[in-house]
Chains A and B, each alone.
Chain A
Amino acid sequence: MTNITIAWMAFPFFIGFVIYLLPKIDRWLALLTGLVSIAYAMLVFFSMPSASDVLPIQLLDNFGVTLAVDQLSAYFILTNAVVTTAVIFYCWGSGRTAFFYMQAIIMHGSVNATFICSDFISLYVALEVLSVAAFLLIAYPRTDKSIWVGLRYLFVSNTAMLFYLLGAVLVYQAHHSFNFAGLRGAPPEATAFIVLGLLVKGGIFVTGLWLPLTHSESQSPVSAMLSGAVVKSAVFPLVRCALMVEEIDPIVRFFGVGTAVLGVCYAVFEKDTKRTLAFSTISQLGFVMAAPVVAGFYALTHGLVKSAVFLIAGSLPSRNFKELQSKPIDTKMWIALTIASFSISGFPLLSGFGAKVLTSKNLLDWQVVAMNIAAVGTAIIFAKFIFLPHGKSEEQIKVQPGFWWAMVLLIGGLFVANVVYYEAYTLENIVKPLATIAIAWVAHFLIFKRLSIRLPRAIEKFDHQIGIMTLMLILLFWVEYGRNYIS
């Protein structure tokens, strides 16, 4: 298993360069990589049937790279693999060059690597490779706008990673090891720096407000990958640390709740489809973090839904909800959009239901109220998509040839993933999400559909995003300092 893991981790990087050497078969190679990752995730599920099984890998000597594979990683790997495969299908006939597939596959590889890292430096390297690949994908159209959006992303994430590096060396100073477990007993500033870096990188809470612009202004397949898989690369280490070191757990849960509520507050007022989805990503990451024990399954269902909806949003006639009201969308596309929206709202029969039930069972008392509000908010956001008019549209929009293959994979995945937690189907569990959706739809028609409030976007400006890091750093430092010295 150790050898398979290492071969699988290196495979996307190797294939990435081969794609550039053999541009004729670029799509096939990219597809192969996606399928290999799906197979690997399945292998992990079958060879480690219990959630507590871990495969620790120590490369080189004492100070070498440490990796750890378990079921939690397998869920995240599966998410990444399915999203990448779907995006490759989507791009199949779009005439994108080998360069695009190469970057997509290298990004896939580095996201995979983050899901099995268990020391801070390997994680740093994986996250930085990922930033570069993501930048190149965002800037792929080479317009001024795309370059600026990419540059802004690279700038914010690199600054955050510098703080992260500072934290990593403080952990090393305390324990002479970079392992995640070193956060226990590390000085408060170490935790503050590392958590800050990961929060910014993952697009969480106010430090994550760089995300809406980046995810909404990229091309649809890139947004799908960024929202479906890439943001989770920084959430995963937070979840892993929360599970390994119980002192981190309340911090991760707290920011989970914060970002879940903040994301929906912005998203319900948003009038643009892709920005709504990006804010919804900020909020959904909160659900992943709110209950670290079951984060994997929630991340999987969110990844499938979000990438499907981003791909659909890219094929709609307009990005503005107002204009979409007067332009009916194709019925087949509407059905796919509705299934995905129902899943994320937590409707039974789809795996989003199981994920929501599982998460809500693992919440702590103080989280419950806020998370229920966020769940209603999520259903309101997706009511906006469900109640779009549909029918035979006059102007046929050209859909990418691979579009339906991608949809079959992603939405099929939503049905299949039900097997993970079929115990969720009890009467009591089914009533609650239905009530949530009912409340949300009433609220949608009575209140939010009629409102037209434009929230200010000043906080999303580049300078403010960097500045917010200082505020967050101070907040984290006081939280950590208080915990260490008062208790």
Chain B
Amino acid sequence: MLLEAFVFATIFIGFFGVILKKNLIMKIISMDVMSTGVIAYYVLLAARTGFVTPIVTEANDVAYADPVPQAVILTAIVIGFSITALMLVSAMKLAKDNPTLETNVIEENNTP
């Protein structure tokens, strides 16, 4: 229960970072924090049933961790990482003309 609260705190800290931080890089990092929270939640739920790595061994009768959420979140980690990479590249490109990378300035310059 306490762990769950911490995980949700991470998610919402990340989310409010996206809204409240002015700098584009900080926003991207906040989104990554939020994404970390979501990943942690999957891992936490997978560990509800036990902690043993779900690999078939001789001792079959132990409390395994649920492998499905872990497998699923692996995909999400890779996707999240590639999207963050794309965003950072865009931030690099935008930094040439907007060196402070403040989103409201970038938005003002680029909205018709």
A residues lining the B interface (CB < 8 Å): 63, 121, 124-125, 128, 131-132, 135, 139, 142, 144-145, 147-151, 154-155, 158-159, 162, 165-166, 169, 172-173, 176, 178, 213, 217, 461-463, 466-467, 470
Contact = CB atoms under 8 A, between A and B. Distances in A.
B34 A461 contact: no
Interface of B: 11, 15, 18-19, 27, 31, 34-35, 38, 41-42, 45, 68-69, 71-72, 75-76, 79-80, 82-83, 86-87, 90-91, 93-94, 97-98, 103-104, 106-107, 109-112
A463 to B, nearest CB: 6
Contacts of A217: 112
Contacts, number: 86
B106 A148 contact: yes
Contacts of A159: 15, 18, 31, 34
Given A172-B45, A217-B112, 9 more contacts: A121-B75, A144-B97, A147-B94, A148-B90, A162-B31, A165-B38, A166-B41, A178-B72, A466-B15
A318 to B, nearest CB: 14
Contacts of A63: 68, 71
A128 B79 contact: yes
A144 B110 CA distance: 7
Contacts of B19: 463, 466-467
B90 to A, nearest CB: 4
Secondary structure of the B contact surface, majority rule: helix
A470 B72 CA distance: 26
Q: For the complex, would chain A's binding face be called helix, strand, loop or mixed by DSSP majority?
A: helix
Contact of A124 (B35, B69, B76, B112): B76
Contacts of B93: 142, 144, 147
A158 B27 CA distance: 12
A463 B103 contact: yes
A467 B20 CA distance: 10
A155 B93 CA distance: 16
A63 B72 CA distance: 10
